[in-house]
Amino acid sequence: MPLIETAEFRHAEAIAALHAASWRATYRGILRDDFLDHAASQALLELWRERLRQPAASAGRWIGRIETDGALEAFACLFLDADPRWGAVLDNLHVAPDLHGRGLGRALIAAAADWVMGERPGSGLHLWVYSRNTPARRFYERLGGQLAGGKLGTALDGGPVDTVRYVWPRPAELAAAARIPARPGAAS
């Protein structure tokens, strides 16, 4: 299991860069290419600077990161009490595109579920994913995520995007499923 550490403001630039790289590798055809190639990096840097400016405890959020030799490999961001019915929301889970399949995403989602259980026993966990992001959807389904509706929203590039919600009413089940080793070749 990789070492997961909490992100701080000094990690904002690395997180934004990995986030943008992940989007460029995954969201072609979902978000506009001109946005991915030119504006995403700056928009995400502003987002992560703002999120990391506040102490995590006061923001009701957890941002975990995995690094090796000072290089960011993956991160996740979770907010408590995001929805009265579904509980905490996993707002981001990104792994460097060249590191998929190594279990980093599984480690982060297990840590996120553990954090929710420690902070809000009895809370559920959910996330939203672009409906056209089939690799991520398969990953969440393998981890026991249950579909619970969808919505049309506005993406950061300003365009419309269809999203679906996956839920885990009992985060302990998600944590357990994420700790089962993935089969070779499966997404992280």
pLDDT tens digits for range 81-105: 999 999 999 999 999 999 999 999 9
Residue ranges of the domains in the chain?
5-179
Closest CA to 176 of 128, 144, 134: 144
Successive 10-residue mean pLDDT values, the chain, 188 residues? 91 98 96 96 96 79 94 97 96 96 96 96 97 97 97 93 97 95 60
Say what the pTM is.
0.92
Domain covering 5-179, topology: Aminopeptidase (3.40.630)
The pLDDT of residue 180: 86
